[in-house]
Every structure is written in C-alpha cells, then in structure tokens.
Structure 1
Amino acid sequence: MKLRLKETMVSATHRSMAKAWQFGLKLTVSIALLALLLSRTDLHAIGALFRSLHIPIFFGSILLYLVAQLLSTIRWNCLLQAEKIHLPFWRLILLYYEGMFFNLMLPTAIGGDLIRGYQVSRLTKRREASMASILVERLSGFVALAIIACIAIVPAYARVSDPLIVWLTAGSAAGMVALIASLLSDRLQALFFRLLHGVGLGRFHDTVHRLYEAVQQYWTHRSTLLLALGLSLVLQSLVITIFYLISLALNLSVPFGYFFLFVPLMSVVSMLPISIAGLGLREGSAVYLFTKVGLDAAGALSLSLLWFAVTALCSGLGGIVFLVGHSQHRMDR
C-alpha cells in the first residue's frame, strides 16, 4: 500500500514538472516571437498609434466582445438543452466567464473548457454529455471560421494572391472535414483507438469511447446543430467586426472585407499549441497578412495587441467571478 502511494506521488510530481516545463517552453516561444516582431517594427510608430487611440470606439469594441460572449453562452445552452441538461442561464454565463479566464491563464488553450465541463458535470452528474456539449460548441465555431474564410478568399484573392494563404484556408477547411469525419466514422474511430493503445494510453479507452458516444448523440439533434452553426456564424462575424472596430480606433484604413479572411486565418494559426494563448503567433500572422493589403507592420502589430488587450480585460471578469464564487464556497463550508 505504501509502495503504491509512493508511486502515485512520484507520478503526480512528474506530471506537475512536465506541465511546468510545457508552460515555460510556451512562455519562451511567446516572448521570443514578440521580441522578434518588436525588434523589426518601428516602436515610435506603435507609440504614436496608441497615443491617437479613439477611446470611445475602443470601449465600443469591448462592449461588443461582451455581447459576443453572451451569444456564445446562448449557443452552449442550446446544446446542453438538446441533451436534457437544464441549468439557470445566469449560472452558465458565470461558468462561461470563468472558462474565458482560465483559457487565458492556464498553459493549455482548452484549460477553461475543461473547467467548464467539470463544473457542469459536478452539477448534473453527466460528465460525458457535459464535455461533449463543449466539444460540439467549439467544433461549430471552427466550422464557422472555415466557412467564412473559404467564402472571403474568393473576392480577396485578387489583391492577396499568396499561395500560402490559399493553402492555409484550404487546409483549415480540410482539417474541419477530417475532424468531423473522425467523429462520425466507425473505421476512423477504431484507428484512433488503436493509436491510443499504441502510444500507451489504452487506460483512457473507456473514457474516450464514452465521450465519442456522447458527441455522436448530437448527430440526432440536427436542428440544434444547425442552430449552433448559425449562431457560430453570427458570433464569428461579431469577432471580425470587433477587429475592424479596433482598426478604426487606431485610425487604420483597411477595407472591412479583408477582415473576413484574415481574422479566421489568424485564429487558426493561434490555435497551434506552442505559445501562451496564441500570443506571438497571432501577432506574427497579423503582420504577415495585413501587410499584404498595404498596412505597415506597426499597424498590424498594434491591431493584434489591442485585440489581446480586449480579450484579457473581458477575461479578467471571469477571474473576479471565480474568486467571488470560491470565497462563497469556502463560506458555505
């Protein structure tokens, strides 16, 4: 018994050390990318842009971001209700803001989603269905991004005739198709589980299989899936509009249409799990993309950094929600 306890403690220590190293590496990547970008950008130009910032427009972008998160909560609630999971809407809003906070603060980009899933499963005792609702919610958002980018590249390509942009757009769409197929195809699932056993993670077979089944259950709720996709298209359009408002606040002159191509591609690049909250990757892709349509590096970098500031400010509300809820929980005990 003592030996088993000791082995468990050693394993937990190794996992903690691995996570610390992972966080450190991602932080290093983000800092290195930002340092590289700043070293190649006119810092005086960035300072001039920030000094000329139109504060009312910037605060308008923050308010619109809060509206977008409310719409995200409505989408999540629709998916939960399809599986007969009913929670007060105010509680879902608080959970969503907590998730935003931890998505920003934790080393992994899905840390906040895992916390949301855990909280809902704790309240409802339906772990797989809770996690499946979040997975399907995220998937609908990714599909919406791919659809918007594929449509936007048609009119934009005449100006940004860059094969890399075309391949990134096509690759994003193909990736979404492959992911959906892997969730629905029994053969691809069997292949995935063989790979899971092959890399020594067979102990998670039952848990992953139950999650697969919970996700597949949503295929019987076709009307809900279409509603979630429609809400995701509106939501992603709001996000794109927020980017455009930030550009207006910075006095940048980029036609609105290009944002419908560039913002989804920036989102795809920032999902790569090699930096903290996409910081550095998003800024680098913004510089690469927006300079294709006449914007200088200082403007593109300022635009991306201000977007990060908007998300950080709004996510901070989730930190307040978490601290208040944690204090209340301690008082109840």
Structure 2
Amino acid sequence: MLNPINRSAAKSWQFWLKLAGSLALLSFLLARTDLHAIGTLFRSLRFPIFFASIFLYILAQMLSVVRWRCLLLAEKINIPFWRLTLLYFEGMFFNLMLPTSIGGDVIRGYRVFQMTRRDKASLASILVERLSGFVALAIIACIAMIPAYTYLNDPVVVWLVVMAATGVIGIVAGLLSVRLQTLFFRVLNGVGLGRFHERLEQLHESIRRYWTHRQALLQAVGLSLILQSLVIMIFYLTSRALNLSVDVRYFFLFVPLINVISMLPVSIAGIGLREGSSVYFFSKVGLDSAGAISLSLLFFAVTALCSGLGGIAFLVGHSQHRMDP
C-alpha cells in the first residue's frame, strides 16, 4: 500500500500527465487549424448573445441545485436552498480546478456530510444526480438521432449513441440487480480489495434506496432533461455568438456525445478532448476546424466564468461555516 507521501506524489504525476495530454492535444489541433480564422471569429463575437449564454448557464446550474435538493429531501436531508447553492457552485469551481470532473462532487459530498453526518446518503444523492444527467443525455441523443441521421448518414455517430445508451442502461441495471452486486463484490474480494466491501455495500444500498423514491427520481430525470436541453442550447447560442451557421438539431445529437467524451479522466477539465470531439463531429455537417475549435473554446469560457463564481461561494461558505455554532 502506498504511504501518504507516495500517494501525494502519484496524484501530482497524474495531474501533470493529464495537463501535458490536454496541452499536447490542443496544440496538435491548433497546429492544423487556421489561427487567423479563429482570430477573425473571436473579433466578430456578438457580445449580447455571449452574455445571454452566461445567464442561461447560471440558470441551468440553479436547476441543478433544485434537482439535488429534491434527491436530498427524499432522504430526509433538509439543507436550505441558499446553502446548497453555495455548495453546488463551490463544486463547480473545484470541478474546473481539479484534475477530474468529479473532484467537485467529492468536495460537496464531504461538505454535506460535515453538516449532516450522513456520508452514504450524501454521496448517494450526488451519484444519483449524476446518473439522472447521463440518462437525460442518452434520451436526448437517441431522440435527436432520428431526424439528424436522415441528413448525417454516419454509422459511427449511431454506434456512439448506442454505446452511450447501452452504458447508461448497464449502470442502472448494475445498481438495481442483486446478482450483479454479488458478482461485483466477489470480484472485489478476489483482487484483494475486500476491505472496502462493507462501505461499498452501504453506499450501494443508499443508492438503491432511491428506487423507492419514485417521485424524486422522476423529478430528477425531468429536471435533467430540461437542464441538458439548456446546456445544448447554450452551446448553440455560442455558435450564433461566433456567427456560425449550424442547424440546431445537430447540437442535440453531438453535444451529449461531446460532454461524455470530455469527462474521460485523461485531461484537465476536458481541455483538448472537448475541442477534438467538436472538430470530429461538427466537421460532418460542414463546419471547419477553426469554427469547431472556436465554438468549443467559447463554450469552455462560458463554463469557466460561471465556475469562477464558485471561488466566491467557497469563501462565503467557509465564512458561514465558521459563524455556525
């Protein structure tokens, strides 16, 4: 087992490797793109639409807070909305700053545990929240594929959508199936990780309990559909801010896939992966690499600006925490 110093060194190396990978991929893409064209697109930026995108993104995150609160209330965890809002934006900030896109989730789960001393229920609410978002993405992509494929006619995109939907179904089935749970824990014991059996089993039971909270689950999935649709429209608005002409239906097909790819734990904040997948998908509908990279970078700027508010939320949250008895 690694001691704390070795674990810290390993995490440091992982961070720098991911950062190097992000920069290398982004440099590779930019080296094969007309940088002058990117500069021209950004000089023609329509700021009213850009600021509207920022406003809609903040609205989408507020919907995320409502979704999270619905799931917490189902487990009798009642935290004021304003406090959850601070925690959620704090999580957004650390999702941006930490090497993986789930680092902020761990932090806000820990903060809820500090307030409630219910660690399993706190973490389960976040995992179910994330899963409801993936379900919504899969639903949107599958629906969008029907009208878009008529014009796109690309089997690779179809297979990616099918694989993503199958993956979501597999995760849900794994959480609900007792047989798969038994098999998982048997494998865990077989590879020498049996010491985590009890804690993971408790967490698994906390997640499975949400299956009895049908109303909360339906609310979470419904809010996720609205939320993910808003995010897709924000992506579309950023294209209009850059004066790009891409039919909105392709955004409903491509953006869910781009979001999933950018969450792979091989880059920092999805940098490089988001731009590369944007170039790959949008090139299929006539958008050149300069336009696709500009679109991706501008969308990242929207998310980064809004996530930066989480830094303020972090300071406010800690000040409030010190004031609480």
Provide the rounded CA distance (Å) in 1 between the counterparts of 2:218 and 2:246: 32
Tell me the residue number matched to 1:150. Answer: 142
1:118 to 102, 110, 122: 110
Tell me the residue number matched to 2:64. Answer: 72
Q: Does 1:277 align with 2:301?
A: no
Provide the rounded CA distance (Å) in 1 between the counterparts of 2:151 and 2:246: 12
> Which amino acid counterpart does residue 38 of structure 1 have in structure 2?
L
CA positional deviation for 1:194: 2.0
Deviates more, 1:159-168 or 1:128-137: 159-168
Tell me the residue number matched to 1:21. Answer: 13
CA offsets, 1:94-132, max 9 Å, x none?
Answer: 000000011111112211001111111110111100100
Provide the rounded CA distance (Å) in 2 between the counterparts of 1:90 and 1:151: 35
Tell me the residue number matched to 1:255. Answer: 247
Q: Does 1:210 align with 2:202?
A: yes
CA positional deviation for 1:320: 1.5
Tell me the residue number matched to 1:287. Answer: 279
Q: Does 1:31 align with 2:40?
A: no
Tell me the residue number matched to 2:131. Answer: 139
CA offsets, 1:127-146, max 9 Å, x none?
Answer: 10010000000000000000
Q: Does 1:177 align with 2:169?
A: yes
Tell me the residue number matched to 1:46. Answer: 38
Name the SS for the 2:204 alignment partner.
helix
Q: How many residues align?
A: 325
CA offsets, 1:193-235, max 9 Å, x none?
Answer: 1222233322211111110000000000111111110100000
8 Å contact from structure 2 (residues 22, 268) kept in 1: yes
> Which amino acid counterpart does residue 231 of structure 1 have in structure 2?
L
Provide the rounded CA distance (Å) in 2 between the counterparts of 1:212 and 1:138: 15
Provide the rounded CA distance (Å) in 2 between the counterparts of 1:254 and 1:114: 37
> Which amino acid counterpart does residue 253 of structure 1 have in structure 2?
S
1:316 to 288, 308, 319: 308
Q: Identity of counterpart residues, as a percentage? A: 70
CA positional deviation for 1:260: 0.3
8 Å contact from structure 2 (residues 86, 317) kept in 1: no
Deviates more, 1:183-192 or 1:65-74: 183-192
> Which amino acid counterpart does residue 60 of structure 1 have in structure 2?
A
> Which amino acid counterpart does residue 184 of structure 1 have in structure 2?
L
Provide the rounded CA distance (Å) in 2 between the counterparts of 1:196 and 1:17: 26
Tell me the residue number matched to 2:3. Answer: 11
CA positional deviation for 1:190: 1.2
Provide the rounded CA distance (Å) in 2 between the counterparts of 1:16 and 1:292: 43
CA offsets, 1:163-211, max 9 Å, x none?
Answer: 2111110000000000001100111111111222233322211111110
> Which amino acid counterpart does residue 242 of structure 1 have in structure 2?
I
CA offsets, 1:271-320, max 9 Å, x none?
Answer: 21111111111110100111111111101100000111111101100011
Provide the rounded CA distance (Å) in 1 between the counterparts of 2:44 and 2:134: 34
TM normalised by structure 2 equals 0.97
> Which amino acid counterpart does residue 150 of structure 2 have in structure 1?
A
Provide the rounded CA distance (Å) in 2 between the counterparts of 1:135 and 1:165: 27
1:244 to 236, 251, 261: 236
Provide the rounded CA distance (Å) in 1 between the counterparts of 2:175 and 2:224: 19
Provide the rounded CA distance (Å) in 1 between the counterparts of 2:187 and 2:136: 29
CA positional deviation for 1:328: 5.5
2:81 to 78, 83, 89: 89
> Which amino acid counterpart does residue 177 of structure 2 have in structure 1?
S
- Residues 87 and 242 (structure 1 numbering): CA distance in 2 closer, same or farther, change over 3 Å? same
8 Å contact from structure 2 (residues 87, 317) kept in 1: no
1:99 to 91, 95, 98: 91
Provide the rounded CA distance (Å) in 2 between the counterparts of 1:325 and 1:124: 16
Tell me the residue number matched to 2:155. Answer: 163
Provide the rounded CA distance (Å) in 2 between the counterparts of 1:109 and 1:197: 29
CA positional deviation for 1:330: 5.9
Provide the rounded CA distance (Å) in 2 between the counterparts of 1:159 and 1:320: 45
Provide the rounded CA distance (Å) in 1 between the counterparts of 2:66 and 2:324: 29
